[in-house]
Structure 1
Amino acid sequence: MIRVAVLGASGYIGGELLRILLGHPHVEVGAAASARLAGRRVDSAHPNLRSVCDLTFTHPDDLGAHDVLFAAIPHLESMRQAEALLERGRVLIDLTADFRLPDAATFERYYGVPHEARDLLGEFVFGLPETHRKELRDADRISVPGCMATAAILALHPAAEAGLLEPAVSVDARTGSSGSGRSSGLADSHSERSGALRVFAPSGHRHEAEITQETGLDVTMSATGIEAVRGVQVLCRGRLRGPVDEARLRETYRRCYGDEPFTRVVARRRGAYRLPEPKILSGSNFCDVGFVTGPVPGGGTTLHAPRNGEDGQALLVGALDNLVKGGAGNAVQCMNIRFGWPERTGLEFPGLHPI
């Protein structure tokens, strides 16, 4: 049994971490820290935890040392508090963007400020089990990727690793309102968000850097806020190298993800859920990935299929729950790997249908 603490426990990601960790058989939650709600009951912020959690929020200044510290605080805060965080967690699992990019110049380009803990850049393992499992087994510093980045990396990774894609790829991401966090502003209020399809990042979204870093592709990314509360879906468009047919693409994805506990290949010719759909993934740690080449199933826009040795086009799709596989669940999966437990431990919930 290990003792863990969640810093930033009053937020949506913090609440998901507590929900998962409270049912984890190898974990004792020692503290849920929040400066804003210190002294109040945890279930006052997370009513789904009533009768499940009797903890009160601890002030971060009173947070002692733990075996694992999950940092679910605002971006740019982890680098500013890095020394204190490392003292409070023998293993630090950071859910901010602060240590995802090992290059200080790239970080400054995308986040607009110089990095304040440059000496620690490159010391964090990128927390995506499907691509960094070996390094995670011994990692004491882990940086969990962003939700849209996770979906896009997993959608692109098999084709990119097999050399089936030309470098230039566009990523069109859609995300629910919970991705903006609990303290979002007027633009994310119900009256402004309801019924809206808001393109909040027409180009150069910050996750673009993570996707480029992890796939080796030349990625351009846009992002749109949709009316859903939970969920991320990414549509990745690229050109295939040579006449790659759907059978080869399917075999490539199945070979890559066939043994993965939480990444599923969903690419069917018919049915309501023939391609990855975030709605049915709510609350689960699954990421579904799929693809289309040539004619789009069920009609609609036709992709350029390979002819006479030409390159064809592919649409690669990824979907997940932004708060779970896109955040808290992925962090717990990384913890499970680090301590040698089965990766599904504490993460067995399969999602709901209908919802």
Structure 2
Amino acid sequence: YVGGELLRLLFRHPKVRVAAVTSEQSAGKPVQSLFPNLVGPELVCEALDPDRIASKADTIFLALPHTKSAGPAQQFLKAGRKVIDLSADFRLKNAKDYATWYQTTHPCPDLLHIAVYGLPELHRDAIRTATLVATPGCYPTAAVLSLAPLVTHRLLSEPVIIDAKSGISGAGRTPALPYHFPEANESIEAYKLWSHRHIPEIEQELGMTVSFTPHLVPMTRGILSTTYVRLRQARTTEQLTALYRDFYKNEPFVRVLDPGQSPNPLHTRGANLCEVSAFADPRTGMATLMAALDNLVKGGAGQAIQAFNLMQGWDETLGLQDSGLYP
């Protein structure tokens, strides 16, 4: 689904012409037959031929499965093209970590040192000059944005306990029993406890160990991340909110909510937006940190385009200014 969302946003971008769309399974089929919601050029899917694609485009977005992006990325980079990868192939800086979490040897470990983790709120300057950007995962985007102000100011101590809920589109388009309507509707279930592949991303960006439990909930898109931490120094909810507002004061796609307000994925649906809030509990010395976003936009395609704009030297909000859908 993130590939279709990428096309939806790129078709509306004022400075972009989509030169080609590839699909191994759907080569020869019209793009709109796969994503009938799209309004834009009537392109036909073609097989992935890196040389041919490199001759037609100066920037390539790769929305391939994990372990499948690295090879084409290497070919595009050799051809002098910029690459934005939406898989996990370049998110982790350590090839050993990749092997541990993805149970395979990294196909192009020599490229890991040039890849920039594409979270603009933390790595904006590096993204501007990058030739290879690794778009963050959806869960890490929500978790890291909710935690970054406290980590930066050294106001929290371990353990960091993250409880996150995701809509079913985060699992992709391939049919599977857990995503079948009778199985997923009116249900909520934890999965991949202690073993989710987004854990090393979160730990890499925060520089600390986290306990992460994801849940699948019966909605199409959206993530709500709730994190529990112990504060090193006493703070009120109002003080935490002020700290977050100062940290994100120049960020166009992070909305810090008023004290007492909770983020809601419904508010971000279709928008490149992350809502965050922080609550202090003076009785326990704990804080609850929350973030909501659309896993396909700020947690995927929209964030990739935000990084793309920076790489081109453009206003990073280009093509991403539209509000979300509500209700």
Please say whether Structure 1 and Structure 2 have the same fold, judged by a TM-score greater than 0.5.
yes
Which of 102, 106, 109 is the matching residue for 2:100?
109
Q: Deviations over 1:147-192 (max 9, x none)?
A: 0100000000001101111132011111001001111412211121
Q: Are the equivalent residues in 2 in contact too, given 1:155–1:318 (CA < 8 A)? A: yes
Correspondence 1:150 to 2:141: yes
1:89 deviation in Å?
6.6
**Which amino acid in structure 2 is aligned with residue 276 of structure 1?**
P
Q: Are the equivalent residues in 2 in contact too, given 1:160–1:217 (CA < 8 A)? A: no
The 4+ residue runs of structure 1 with deviation greater than 6 A are none
Long gaps (5+) in structure 2: none
Change (3 A) 1:213 1:59: same
Structure 1 residue aligned with 2:309: 336
2:20 is paired with a residue whose SS is strand
2:298 is paired with a residue whose SS is helix
Which of 277, 280, 289 is the matching residue for 1:293?
280
Structure 2 residue aligned with 1:300: none
TM-score, normalised with respect to structure 2: 0.95
Structure 1 residue aligned with 2:11: 22
Structure 1 residue aligned with 2:217: 226
Measured in 2, the distance between the counterparts of 1:14 and 1:330 equals 13
1:151 is paired with a residue whose SS is helix
Correspondence 1:259 to 2:250: yes
**Which amino acid in structure 2 is aligned with residue 61 of structure 1?**
D
Which of 55, 60, 67 is the matching residue for 2:48?
60
- 1:186-335 → structure 2 map (5 Å cutoff): 186-269=177-260, 274-294=261-281, 305=283, 312-335=285-308
Change (3 A) 1:24 1:89: farther
Change (3 A) 1:288 1:237: same
Q: Are the equivalent residues in 1 in contact too, given 2:259–2:279 (CA < 8 A)? A: no
1:98 deviation in Å?
0.8
Measured in 1, the distance between the counterparts of 2:233 and 2:243 equals 15
Long gaps (5+) in structure 1: 1-11, 295-303, 307-311
Measured in 2, the distance between the counterparts of 1:158 and 1:330 equals 20
Structure 1 residue aligned with 2:115: 124
Measured in 2, the distance between the counterparts of 1:261 and 1:103 equals 31
Q: Deviations over 1:257-300 (max 9, x none)?
A: 0110000101433xxxx211001211000001111112xxxxxx
TM-score, normalised with respect to structure 1: 0.88
Change (3 A) 1:227 1:82: same
Aligned length: 324
Please, what is the CA RMSD of the aligned residues? 1.5
